[in-house]
Structure 1
Amino acid sequence: MAIITLLTDFGLEDPFVGQMHGVILSRCPEAKIVDLTHGVQPQDVRQASFLLARSYEWFPPGSVHVAVVDPGVGSERAGIVVEAQGHVFVAPDNGLCTPLFSGARVHRIDMGIAPRSRTFHGRDLFAPVGAEIASGRVAPAEVGPPHEPVKLPPAAKGRVMVVDHFGNLITDLEADGAVAVEIAGRRIPVRGTYSDVAVGELLALTSSFDTLEIACREGNASALLSARVGAEVRVV
């Protein structure tokens, strides 16, 4: 079975995601499409990079991951295909795939596909390429020449990367024996699980992303702390 995942900042209010599904199914009818998330913060390449790097491993080897957070759409930026860890990634060359580059093979997309729109390469370029690879008609190395990709510049760690459905604040900080974190002027203890504190109390713990998460037991830490994606966090 051909598995294709989609990660974008398109949201679900508009038909953009559905159009990508249609393009993929037209070229690879047997594809199993998994919508990893379409809730990336608009134009937040670093958040998309974090989510992709922390999610692909849960899929079978050989899966094709199409990731489109593309502030430079319509410009001269390249599209790339990355082979890493037994998976294939199709994305704009804007640093989104930075965590995957170690030991990876990277190729610039040069398949003669002329995007119909200068504003929607997700539908017109990346979805078709992902489908062609998933179908087996095109090997990743056949999409174009080897390419030196753009990498995200190093950033100091200590940021809320995701606010999940429950209002938990997922950070980019490793636990590494931390005993407390500080955010919005509050010192919050690190605990093992939600039940280690009383209902309504704040705690930090290791999230399912293997990084520190700030939560409120049976509550909403984001609302309680007025903290959003990008908020600064530090280990204390």
Structure 2
Amino acid sequence: MPFITLTSDIGEQDYLVGAVKGRLLRINPEFKIIDITHKLSPFNYPQAAYVCRNAIKNFPEFTYHIVLVNLFESKPEQLLFAFHKDQYLVCADNGLIEMILEEKPEMVLGIPLDKSAIKNTLYCIDVAARAITQLMNGEPLLKIGIPDAPYLEKNPLRPTSGEDWIEGQIIFIDHFENVIVNITQEQFEEQRKGRRFKIVFKRDEVIERISGSYADVPQGEKLVLFNSAGYMEIAINKGNAAGLFGLKGYNESSQQVSVMVQNRLFYQTVKVYFE
């Protein structure tokens, strides 16, 4: 019984998520459908990449992951069907695939979309479901799509660094308003080289030690730890760090705004100084 995961920025206010599941089951009633989330922020590629990357790697081998994020940034001509590290990934040709994987996929097919079709979400899910079913039935790749088809590439959002510092962007704010920064524990330790450090955000907020859990500090105190995905997390014990510190998630679209608004971008970043 194949596992199919769904991740989207559709939301859950209307019929569309239910309709997507219905279309999947009409094409293959054996699909076992699992929601990752449908509450991604619209058009936010770094957030979508973080959520997808850290969810899919925990699933059984050969799970199919359908990502319905910003399907129509441009006029779609194909869906991408990739295989990487024993997981299948289906998404739009919008640059997200390499942001999720942080590298080129081991195999990628372009699944052409019918030029005469009305290319809405349900049409795209039909195409994805049929391709998955064909692959499960052992049909040749050439019958499913175009191997090594050219596709749009976008660089994953990575921290910047110098000899004595590393700076990351806020890529996710969770349900408790804990703030996730795109600095992994591995990147932090590699840059740290055993030195003392100072984590700085919102100009004057400083933390100088890594906690193992929220309970390491008194209630209401700020802390930094590395979460279960290995990413830096700024939190307040039984508080809401994002709201209290005025921190915002990074979004590429914010780079298009005026100089006055760009002054707020400081609150989308976290910098670590090493001594």
Please, what TM-score do these two structures have when normalized by structure 1?
0.88
Give the deviation of 1:202 after TM superposition. 0.6
Give the deviation of 1:219 after TM superposition. 1.1
Task: Quote the sequence identity (%).
Answer: 27
**Alignment-derived partner of residue 188 in structure 1:** 207
1:226 counterpart (239, 246, 258):
246
Aligned-CA RMSD value: 2.3
For 1:107 and 1:216, the matched residues in 2 are separated by 44
AA of the residue aligned to 2:45 = V
**Alignment-derived partner of residue 171 in structure 1:** 181
**Alignment-derived partner of residue 45 in structure 2:** 45
Contact 1:27/1:132 (CA < 8 Å) preserved in 2?
no
Q: Which runs of 5+ in 1 are unaligned?
A: none
2:236 counterpart (199, 216, 221):
216
Q: Does residue 128 of structure 2 align to residue 129 of structure 1?
A: yes
AA of the residue aligned to 1:228 = K
Contact 1:28/1:132 (CA < 8 Å) preserved in 2?
no
Q: Structure 1 residues 212, 37: closer, same or farther in 2, change over 3 A?
A: same
**SS at 1:35 equivalent:** strand
C-alpha deviations, 1:98-141, integer Å up to 9, x for none? Answer: 0434351111112659644x4x33x2113541354157246583
**Alignment-derived partner of residue 54 in structure 1:** 54
**Alignment-derived partner of residue 65 in structure 2:** 65
For 2:234 and 2:14, the matched residues in 1 are separated by 32
AA of the residue aligned to 2:53 = A
Q: Which runs of 5+ in 2 are unaligned?
A: 160-167, 251-267
**SS at 1:6 equivalent:** strand
Flag the structure with higher strand content.
Answer: 2
**Alignment-derived partner of residue 144 in structure 1:** 145
Aligned length: 233
For 1:162 and 1:67, the matched residues in 2 are separated by 17
Q: Structure 1 residues 31, 65: closer, same or farther in 2, change over 3 A?
A: same
**SS at 1:219 equivalent:** coil
1:105 counterpart (107, 119, 136):
107
Give the deviation of 1:11 after TM superposition. 0.9
Flag the structure with higher helix content.
Answer: 2
Decide which structure has the larger Cα Rg and report it: 2
Please, what TM-score do these two structures have when normalized by structure 2?
0.77
Contact 1:43/1:71 (CA < 8 Å) preserved in 2?
no
AA of the residue aligned to 2:123 = D
For 2:13 and 2:146, the matched residues in 1 are separated by 37
For 2:4 and 2:130, the matched residues in 1 are separated by 8
AA of the residue aligned to 1:107 = L
User: Which range moved further: 124-133 or 82-91?
Assistant: 124-133
AA of the residue aligned to 2:83 = E
AA of the residue aligned to 1:161 = I
**SS at 2:220 equivalent:** coil
C-alpha deviations, 1:186-207, integer Å up to 9, x for none? Answer: 1123222211111111111001
